[in-house]
Chain A
Amino acid sequence: MKKTFIAASMAAAFMLSSVSALAVTSNDQWQQTLEQAKGQTVYFNAWGGADNINDYIQWAADRIEQEYDVTLKQVKLTDASDAVNRVLAEKAAGKNSEGSIDLIWLNGENFRAMKDNALLFGPFSHNLPNYAHYVDESARQSLTQDFGTPVDGMESPWGMAQVIFMHDTETLATPPKSMNELLSYAQANPGRITYPEPPQFLGSTFLKQALHELTPDTSLLSNPVDQVDFHAVTAPLWAYLDQLHQVAWRNGQTFPSSSEEMMRLLDDQEIDVALSFDISAASIQIDRGNLPDSVRSYVFTKGTIGNTHFLAIPYNSSAKAGAQVVANFMLSPEAQIRKQNPTVWGDLSVLSYAKLSKEQQQAFDTIPRGIATLSIEELGQTLPEPHSSWVTALEKEWRERYAQ
């Protein structure tokens, strides 16, 4: 009797340990990563053009230092491609370890360039505990297809963005809600409509938005550009732009360089419609005194382009463990909730609402929205980004047509 009890309990103990062994291997691996990361300094190369984002990164750095003993230092870039070039220069110099960059904020073309040239460490994102817990890959195509390039775990999602438009309700009560309406508005009000200059990413996105609305068969856009008849597919776009430029701001001879410049022009009343990839841009700029409080956001009736942005680790990073710890922290509900707060940043969360606990869901529900920010429902449909090869082709054609 005694023996059987011991045997039974021993068997139970074995069972338990073998069950937990499965969980433990990945957990152990993560514990190991946490151990390795201790004391490391992670140089995070991120676009540094917006104060609120820099402040958010600083907040994350303080939290990560406290919790994981990892020092996060932001290296402010004007363009993520600077970081790509730097990793390339390091490879040129044969510096295959101890590289100067540990983490890069990127997506689309830059990701494709790094992945194709074997400049990335990974796959790693599936091993991040928060990714496993909270991310639902089937929720959005852009989580696994970064502008048509398979992600394959080589980068970890950080946030989502969608194109929004802004207008001043005092000068323009009913804004144009499609590309054709935009053109008719420009023809009625010459000089008041423009878009950022490609290859600035928002400018390229405007081209994609227009292409999506104007081309007859949008399914062709998800193919690599060399597999379709580029000229036939894009002909309606150029015809549209030729018409628009004649009545555009400064006659289409000059274009703003960024979303920030567009908002400045909107504030100056030089233009009537601005666009941004940041859904809370209008609220933030009103708060800063950079826009009048009569400005509101809106989206096109048939939806606007949206995408996901990611964090990736270069192959020669000297703090790969630390970088993974940072990427994991950025995916935590705590960090994602704070990030979505419009007074902090207003960047959309990549976490699946259904996978969150009750308290976490509640925290997301109570995030305040600024007066000019649209709700998730109001944002409507997200149009997918075309395959990333389209960007270069569109930019090149645009510059050949309008920049010479």
Chain B
Amino acid sequence: MPLIHTRLITWVMALVLMIPIAIGLIGTLLPAFQYFPPLGEYQLSLSPWRDLFSHGEFYASLKLTLITGIGAPILSLWLALSLLAWGYQRPFFTKIEALLSPLLAIPHAAIAIGLLFLLSPSGWLVRVFSPWLTGFERPPNWISVQDPYGVSLIIALVIKEMPYLLFVMLTTMKSIKARESLQVGQALGYSRFTLWRKVLIPQLYPIVRLPIFIVVAFSLTVVDLALVIGPNTPSTLAVTLLRWFNNPDLSMRFMASAGAVFLMLCVVSVLAGWELSHKLTSKITRSERSNGKRAGLSDNLLRLGVIVGLLALLNGFVALVLLPIWSLARRWRFPDALPSQWTLSNLERAGPLLLELTTNTLLIAFLSTLLACAISLIMLETKRQDMDKQHQHTKNHLFDWLIYVPILLPQIGFLFGLHVLLIYLELNGDLCAIIALHLMYVLPYVYLTLKGPYLSYEEGYLQQANRIHYRPWRNYLGIKIAMLKPAMFTAFAIGFSVSIAQYLPTLIAGEGRYSTLTTEAVAQAASGDRKQVGSMAMLQAFFPILVFWLAQFIPRRWTRWRLFIKQCVIRSKHFFFKKDTQC
């Protein structure tokens, strides 16, 4: 991209990103120290913190948050690596890869509801085996979902996060030359899992470090998923905070703000701890990795991971299949494995709403993702030019770090602070405000997905083209972007599904004036009507799945279609030209 003033662009972009983040943070920090003019509080004080630390539910929630928030990413990482090591470059694995996108695309709340349908004592799993095997005429009094230990929450998190990690890892395979390493290693007699463990995973980890951090921060701070499938006596810290923020007793807000600040500190320290333990692990295992043994006992860890990972995937899919079944059910009582009466009226009822919700959802998702793609390209180009000039390949931009701040911060505390800014700007309840907030959450994912392919692009093609015919913009689009098509489409699909899944940002910026499929589905999820939820979730899942499918379908056929259209145009020109001469 023939950009000039790259340094200026970098700074302007960084500033534009920084302002809302800073104001959101200040809007949370000040109430945490009792400063909140609308409630007549102008004195800084530590009392919110004293309240917080003397609150029993805070400690219980914190414990649960740490267990689920650290347990889920470790499990997800383990399973994703195991599946990758087991299946990479094997023919059947491409089918699993293709099946990942629906799991990735579907909003968390919908997955959680699906899992409730599947795993609860009256769920499908028990229904299938009842009463012929289990003898249950009525559902057993088990605690298989919303359990106080957070196991079901961890399962839901893993089902949502493992596909994401696997997806990100698959896109980096080329840059670590995985295939070549495997070929060389296998020729040297290393077993497949050992090779991954000793050679590929240590190379892979630094590249996917940020996605892992995102997953950790997400697990520690998620609200909608924890609301649906997490325990509620106590809930995770994020949900407890949300309840405090929404408490009619407005003075609870101070303690909630202090809690939100604490949750941020929590995220930071868990990430620091995570990085430290990675350093430690790689130090401890260094001698083992280079001992030359062709197989090892810890390979079994990966083998076990494959089985658990496949089970988790299967769980996710069955949960997804249950959604449309529920949306078509009229009567479906325990222990029937399938509905006894079917109907279309659940869907008919949702029909008129659908049009409005779909328009809003698609408009927001398309605009925010397109903007995110454009900004990502500009930022990556300035980064590339900087790197070229300084011949430093490790140096990071300022906003390389900045853009991750929104997704690493807990949404609840941060967004309330931001809401006050929107009201000052009279942008509250405005479509632009929703798109801007979505952009904050879409941008990091799009940027992250594009970063690797864009920076590793062989610039020589473009330079050569410009030497032959100097048309910098046209060549940039026609050659570089065209060659990066698969990455562009993937980034778009990911950004799109991220936008569709946003709940709190849509609600807070849109003030409920703009409902999307997600805000509606979560509002319905609370009501517990499985038919409604099933219908909503199905609709909500349809568009991201479609876009993911298109992202895989179009790039391969793009050139063929383009040439075909070009040919048609040429032919028709000839045709008209002949006609003209005849006349």
Residues of chain A touching chain B, judged by Cβ–Cβ distance below 8 Å, are 43, 45, 48-51, 73, 75-79, 81-82, 84-86, 88-95, 100, 109-110, 112-113, 117, 190-191, 197, 199, 249-251, 253-258, 260-261, 263-265, 267-270, 288-290, 292, 392, 399-400, 402-404
Residue of B245, B250, B333, B532 with most chain A CB atoms under a 10 A cut-off: B250
Closest chain A CB from B516 CB (angstroms): 12
Is B243 close to A, CB under 8 A? Answer: yes
Tell whether, in the assembled complex, residue A403 and residue B333 are in contact, meaning their CB atoms are under 8 Å apart: no
Q: Bound complex: CA of A107 vs CA of B382, how far in Å? A: 56
Q: Bound complex: CA of A56 vs CA of B243, how far in Å? A: 29
List CB contacts (< 8 Å) of B242-295 with chain A. 243, 245-250
Tell whether, in the assembled complex, residue A89 and residue B419 are in contact, meaning their CB atoms are under 8 Å apart: yes
Tell whether, in the assembled complex, residue B56 and residue A290 are in contact, meaning their CB atoms are under 8 Å apart: no
Q: Given contacts A268-B139, A400-B56, list 9 more A-B pairs with CB under 8 A.
A: A49-B523, A84-B248, A93-B420, A251-B143, A254-B231, A255-B233, A261-B528, A265-B122, A403-B234
Tell whether, in the assembled complex, residue A254 and residue B232 are in contact, meaning their CB atoms are under 8 Å apart: yes
Residues on B with C-beta less than 8 A from A190 are: 141
Of B416, B513, B529, the residue contacting A260 (CB under 8 A) is: B529
Tell whether, in the assembled complex, residue A400 and residue B57 are in contact, meaning their CB atoms are under 8 Å apart: yes
Is B341 close to A, CB under 8 A? Answer: yes
Given contact pairs A100-B429, A253-B233, A109 touches B248 in the complex (Cβ within 8 A): yes
Tell whether, in the assembled complex, residue B56 and residue A404 are in contact, meaning their CB atoms are under 8 Å apart: yes
Of B60, B248, B349, B428, the residue contacting A112 (CB under 8 A) is: B248
Tell whether, in the assembled complex, residue B141 and residue A250 are in contact, meaning their CB atoms are under 8 Å apart: yes
Q: List 13 A-B contacts (CB under 8 A).
A: A49-B526, A73-B513, A75-B512, A85-B245, A93-B420, A197-B232, A254-B143, A258-B526, A264-B529, A270-B139, A270-B334, A288-B531, A289-B343
Residues on A with C-beta less than 8 A from B511 are: 75, 86, 100
Q: Which residue of A lies closest to B245 (CB)?
A: A85
Of B243, B250, B524, B531, the residue contacting A290 (CB under 8 A) is: B531
Q: Bound complex: CA of A77 vs CA of B522, how far in Å? A: 11
Contact with A along B519-555 (1 / 0, CB 8 A): 0101110111111100000000000000000000000
Tell whether, in the assembled complex, residue A92 and residue B141 are in contact, meaning their CB atoms are under 8 Å apart: no
Closest chain A CB from B67 CB (angstroms): 15
Tell whether, in the assembled complex, residue B143 and residue A392 are in contact, meaning their CB atoms are under 8 Å apart: no
Q: Bound complex: CA of A117 vs CA of B37, how far in Å? A: 13
Tell whether, in the assembled complex, residue B247 and residue A81 are in contact, meaning their CB atoms are under 8 Å apart: yes
Q: Bound complex: CA of A182 vs CA of B259, how far in Å? A: 39
Given contact pairs A92-B36, A254-B147, A269-B139, A403 touches B60 in the complex (Cβ within 8 A): yes
Is B39 close to A, CB under 8 A? Answer: yes
Closest chain A CB from B328 CB (angstroms): 12
Closest chain B CB from A181 CB (angstroms): 21
Tell whether, in the assembled complex, residue B523 and residue A392 are in contact, meaning their CB atoms are under 8 Å apart: no
Closest chain A CB from B518 CB (angstroms): 13
Tell whether, in the assembled complex, residue B246 and residue A93 are in contact, meaning their CB atoms are under 8 Å apart: no
Q: Bound complex: CA of A404 vs CA of B55, how far in Å? A: 10
Contact with A along B386-430 (1 / 0, CB 8 A): 000000000000000000000000000000100110011000110
Is B138 close to A, CB under 8 A? Answer: yes
Q: Bound complex: CA of A86 vs CA of B36, how far in Å? A: 15
Is B515 close to A, CB under 8 A? Answer: yes
List CB contacts (< 8 Å) of B38-80 with chain A. 38-39, 56-57, 59-60
Given contact pairs A48-B523, A75-B512, A78-B526, A250 touches B233 in the complex (Cβ within 8 A): no
Q: Bound complex: CA of A91 vs CA of B41, how far in Å? A: 13
Q: Bound complex: CA of A400 vs CA of B243, how far in Å? A: 15
Of A81, A93, A258, A292, the residue contacting B423 (CB under 8 A) is: A93
Q: Bound complex: CA of A392 vs CA of B528, how far in Å? A: 25
Of B36, B246, B513, the residue contacting A81 (CB under 8 A) is: B246
- Report the number of A-B residue pairs with Cβ-Cβ less than 8 Å: 157
Tell whether, in the assembled complex, residue A88 and residue B38 are in contact, meaning their CB atoms are under 8 Å apart: yes
Given contact pairs A92-B38, A269-B333, A289-B341, A45 touches B141 in the complex (Cβ within 8 A): no
Q: Which residue of B lies closest to A106 (CB)?
A: B248
Residue of A85, A112, A292 with most chain B CB atoms under a 10 A cut-off: A85
Of B56, B57, B246, B530, the residue contacting A82 (CB under 8 A) is: B246
List CB contacts (< 8 Å) of B485-531 with chain A. 507, 511-513, 515, 520, 522-524, 526-531
Closest chain A CB from B510 CB (angstroms): 9
Residues on A with C-beta less than 8 A from B234 are: 399, 403-404
Residues on B with C-beta less than 8 A from A400 are: 56-57
Of A91, A100, A268, the residue contacting B333 (CB under 8 A) is: A268
Given contact pairs A89-B420, A93-B420, A257 touches B528 in the complex (Cβ within 8 A): yes
Q: Bound complex: CA of A254 vs CA of B36, how far in Å? A: 36
Tell whether, in the assembled complex, residue B330 and residue A260 are in contact, meaning their CB atoms are under 8 Å apart: no
Closest chain A CB from B235 CB (angstroms): 8
Tell whether, in the assembled complex, residue B148 and residue A254 are in contact, meaning their CB atoms are under 8 Å apart: yes
Q: Bound complex: CA of A373 vs CA of B529, how far in Å? A: 20
Q: Bound complex: CA of A330 vs CA of B91, how far in Å? A: 65
Q: Bound complex: CA of A110 vs CA of B246, how far in Å? A: 10
Tell whether, in the assembled complex, residue B141 and residue A290 are in contact, meaning their CB atoms are under 8 Å apart: no
Residue of B60, B330, B507, B526 with most chain A CB atoms under a 10 A cut-off: B526
Given contact pairs A113-B249, A117-B39, A199-B243, A290 touches B423 in the complex (Cβ within 8 A): no
Residue of B39, B416, B512 with most chain A CB atoms under a 10 A cut-off: B512
Closest chain A CB from B276 CB (angstroms): 31
Is B20 close to A, CB under 8 A? Answer: no
Q: Bound complex: CA of A128 vs CA of B352, how far in Å? A: 34
Question: What are the 9 A-B residue pairs with the smallest beta carbon separation, nearest first?
Answer: A191-B141, A261-B528, A93-B423, A92-B38, A268-B122, A75-B512, A403-B233, A109-B248, A260-B528
Tell whether, in the assembled complex, residue A90 and residue B423 are in contact, meaning their CB atoms are under 8 Å apart: yes
Tell whether, in the assembled complex, residue A92 and residue B523 are in contact, meaning their CB atoms are under 8 Å apart: no
Q: Bound complex: CA of A403 vs CA of B38, how far in Å? A: 31
Q: Bound complex: CA of A93 vs CA of B511, how far in Å? A: 15
Closest chain B CB from A167 CB (angstroms): 14
Residues on A with C-beta less than 8 A from B122 are: 265, 268-270
Q: Which residue of A lies closest to B144 (CB)?
A: A250
Residues on A with C-beta less than 8 A from B520 are: 76
Closest chain A CB from B307 CB (angstroms): 29
Q: Bound complex: CA of A292 vs CA of B507, how far in Å? A: 36
Is B331 close to A, CB under 8 A? Answer: yes
Tell whether, in the assembled complex, residue A402 and residue B38 are in contact, meaning their CB atoms are under 8 Å apart: no
Q: Bound complex: CA of A294 vs CA of B355, how far in Å? A: 37
Residues on A with C-beta less than 8 A from B416 are: 89
Is B376 close to A, CB under 8 A? Answer: no
Is B219 close to A, CB under 8 A? Answer: no
Given contact pairs A92-B38, A404-B56, A257 touches B232 in the complex (Cβ within 8 A): yes
Is B146 close to A, CB under 8 A? Answer: yes
Residues on B with C-beta less than 8 A from A81 are: 246-248
Q: Which residue of B lies closest to A269 (CB)?
A: B138
Closest chain B CB from A315 CB (angstroms): 12
Of A48, A78, A84, A250, the residue contacting B143 (CB under 8 A) is: A250
Tell whether, in the assembled complex, residue B529 and residue A290 are in contact, meaning their CB atoms are under 8 Å apart: yes
Closest chain B CB from A401 CB (angstroms): 10
Residues on B with C-beta less than 8 A from A197 are: 232-233
Residues on A with C-beta less than 8 A from B60 are: 403-404
Tell whether, in the assembled complex, residue A254 and residue B146 are in contact, meaning their CB atoms are under 8 Å apart: yes
Q: Bound complex: CA of A90 vs CA of B421, how far in Å? A: 10
Contact with A along B366-392 (1 / 0, CB 8 A): 000000000000000000000000000
Q: Bound complex: CA of A261 vs CA of B528, how far in Å? A: 5
Closest chain A CB from B355 CB (angstroms): 15
Tell whether, in the assembled complex, residue A95 and residue B248 are in contact, meaning their CB atoms are under 8 Å apart: no
Closest chain B CB from A247 CB (angstroms): 10
Closest chain A CB from B225 CB (angstroms): 14
Residues on A with C-beta less than 8 A from B246 are: 79, 81-82, 85
Closest chain A CB from B446 CB (angstroms): 29
Q: Bound complex: CA of A257 vs CA of B113, how far in Å? A: 14
Residues on A with C-beta less than 8 A from B59 are: 404
Q: Which residue of B lies closest to A252 (CB)?
A: B233
